[in-house]
Structure 1
Amino acid sequence: MTSAPAGLVALTGATLFDGERRLEGHALLVDGALIAGVVPRSEIPADAAVTDLGGGILTAGFIDVQVNGGGGVMLNDAPTPDAMAAIAAAHRRFGTTGLLPTLITDTPAATAAAIAAAAEAVSTRPGVIGLHLEGPHLAPARRGAHLPELMRPLTEADADQLAAAAEAIGTLLVTMAVEQAPPALIRRLADAGVIVSLGHTDADYDAAMRAIDAGARSVTHLFNAMSQLGHRAPGMVGAAIDSGAVWCGVIADGHHVHPASLSAALRAKRGPGRCVLVTDAMSTVGADGDSFTLNGRTARRVDGKLVLADGTLAGSDIDMAASVRYAVAHLGVSADEALRMATVYPAALLRHDRIRGRLAPALAADLVHLTPDLHVQATWIAGEHSTPQTSLPLSR
C-alpha cells in the first residue's frame, strides 16, 4: 500500500462509470484525497501525472453497510479500532472502500465498546465510515443467528446512548424490530441523525408502515428474519417494497434469498428508495478456514453457506464484488445497475452521496478498478492506491 501521490493525477485507459453513464476516452483527475474532475483525454492538464490503467472499468469504490467480519476477525469478538481496520482491509481486496463494521446482538458492554471504537476508527482507519448495530432491540421470534436472551425493548436510556453515538461517530445505522421500538423513539432517533433500519421483526404491514412513517429509513436484509409477503398479510416485506421512503439491504449470495424473489423485489420496489447490496459477511471472507465462533457458538462453511449446528444461516461468506457479479448473472439487472447497488444507492442510504459513491468533482477519491467481468484489479481510498495483493487482510 502506498500513500496518495502529491499533485494532480490523471487515471486513464479505462471505461469510466460515473454512477449514471459510461464514458470512453476520458480521464479521472485525482488531487490528493479528492476527485478533481472527469475530462476527455485530450483535456488532461499538462501538469498531471498520467497513469494508464490499461482497460477495464473505473468506478466509485463499493460501500457495504453490513459487515460483521473479515480477514479472520469478528467484530463481536474484538470491538476495537484495530479489529475494524482488519475487517476493512480484508474487504478492500474485493473492492469495498467504505463499510460499516457491524455488531450483532451482544451485551451493553460490547455495544459501548463498539461505539467508542467506531468513534475513533472513522477518522483513523481507512475504509471505516461508520457503525452498524444489528440489535439488541430485535424480536426473539425472528432471531436468526442472534441470541434471544440478549434481546430487549428500546428504552429512553438506549435512545440517549444512540443519539450521542450518532453525534460522536457521524454515521450510525441501528437495526431494530418494529415491536421492540415505539414510533416515538424511532422519531427521536431519526431526528438525532440515527439511521433506523427495521429487521428481525414479525411486524404486520400496518405496524411496519407506522415505523416507517416515524422515520425508519431502511430495512435490514430484505426477506430474511422478517414477516413475509402474503396475499392478505403483506408483512414487513410488503411494507418495505411498497414504501418509497425506505432503502432495502439485500444479500445476493444464492443462499439467503431465492433469485426469483430478489428479482421480483427489484422490479417492484417503489422509489426513491432502492435495493442496496450488502454482504452480511463474517470473518471467513478474505481468510483461510471454514469455521468461526459467533457469541460462543461455532458456525461452519457448508456448501458455500455459513451455518450454526442447527442449520441456521449465520451471515454470509460472500464479498461485494462477488455480490455484484451475482446480481448481473442471476437477478436480471445490468452491470451498471448492479454497480449502482454497490455504490450510488448505499451512499444515498447513508446520506454520503455528497461525499462518495460516484465519480464527480469534490467527492472522495474512493475508487475501484475492475476487469470487464467485474473482478477487482485495484482500489483507492482517499486517493491511496492498493492492489488485492498489497492490501492483504490482517488475520487473527
Structure 2
Amino acid sequence: MTSNNADVVQAPDVLSEVVGGVGFITLNRPRALNALNLGMVRRLTDILLAWRSDAAVHGVAIRGTNKEGPFGGFCAGGDIRFFHQAAMAGDPALEDFFTEEYALNHLIFTYPKPYIAFMDGIVMGGGMGISQGASVRLVTERTKMAMPETNIGLFPDVGGGHFLGSCPGRVGEYLALTGHVIGGAQAVAWNLADLIVPSQHLHQAWEALEHFRPSSPDELRRLWSRWCEQAHWNVPSQAPEGLRPELEAAFALPTVGEIVASLEAAGTQAATETAGMLRHRSPLMLHVVLEQLRRARGLTLAEDLRMERDLVRHCFFTGHLGRSGATSETVEGIRALAVDKDHAPRWNPSRIEDVTPDMVTPFFDSPWPAHAHPLRHLD
C-alpha cells in the first residue's frame, strides 16, 4: 500500500502520560531543538494544572528528545523565528506567547509536587524557564546551558532575573551579559543544577520513576532520594564557586562601560575574551540587562516576571525610541542570527559607550496600570 503526505500523522510536540502515580512529559520537537511555540506552552500549562489538582499524580518528570530518540536535547528556548514573523506582521499571538510562557514559568517554580528536570543536551532561554524551577535539576556531560539573549537583542527572561540573581557572586551578571555557554559541572557549581550524572544512565533513572508507585509526593521524594543514593548520584559537597577574581571585580562595577573598561585593562586571557564577547552583544540591551538583574535581586519571583513582561513589550515595541517591527533591537538581532543568518546585526546604538540612561530607563516603565497587567494574578 502506498501513502501520500495527507496520510502522515505527526506526533504531538508535547507527549505526556501518567505511570504509577508519576506524570511524564517529553518535549517532542527535535528538529527545532524542542524550541517552545505557543501551542507547546499551552499544552504544558494544561498538563501541569491538571496534574497539580489530581490527587493520583504525585510528581512530574520532564525531558526532551533529539532526532535519535529520548534525551540528548532538552529545549533551545522560545521559537525565535515565530517571534520575528509575529513582530513583523503585528500578530497579537506574540503578546500571548510571553504572557502565557511567564505564567508557565511561575507555575513550575511554585509547583507543589516534585518536578524533576532531565536537562540533557541544549538547555537555553525558554528551556531554562521550564527547568530552573524544578525540585531536582539533572545535568549531564552533554549539557550546554546558557541565557544567550543579548546575542539577539533581548534579555534573559523566563525568570532569568530571579535565577541568575541567585548565582554566587557576580556570576549572574556574567552569564546574563555575555550569554556564555556552560557545561553541567559548571552549572552545578553555580547553583543552576543539582546533580551531574552520566548521560547513559538517564534511561535507567526515567524507568526507575515509572516503577516507584509512590502514594504521596513526600514518598516520591523519599524513593527518588534513596534511588539516587544507591546509584551514587549524590549532591556535590563543594561550596559554590565564583568567577575568576578579575571577572568578579569587573562584573561588580556599576555600569556596562565600567565593566568593559575593567576587563580590557585586566590583561588576562579570560578578561580579554569576555570583553570581546560583550563587544559583539547588543549595546542597548547590555545596559538594560544589567539594570534588570540588579533590580531583580530585590523582587519576588512574581514581581520579577511582571517586570520581565514589561521589558519584553518594550523590546518589540520600543515607543520611547520610536522603534518597532524591523527597527526594534530584538527583531534585528533575530534577523541576523536566524533569518538572514549573516551574523552581522546592525545594533542601534552600535557602541556600548553611546548608550544613555534616557534610552534605558523607559524599558522599566510598565505599559499597563497594575490592575490591568497581564501577569497581575501571579503571587
Output the TM-score relative to the length of structure 1: 0.28
Q: Which has the higher strand share?
A: 1
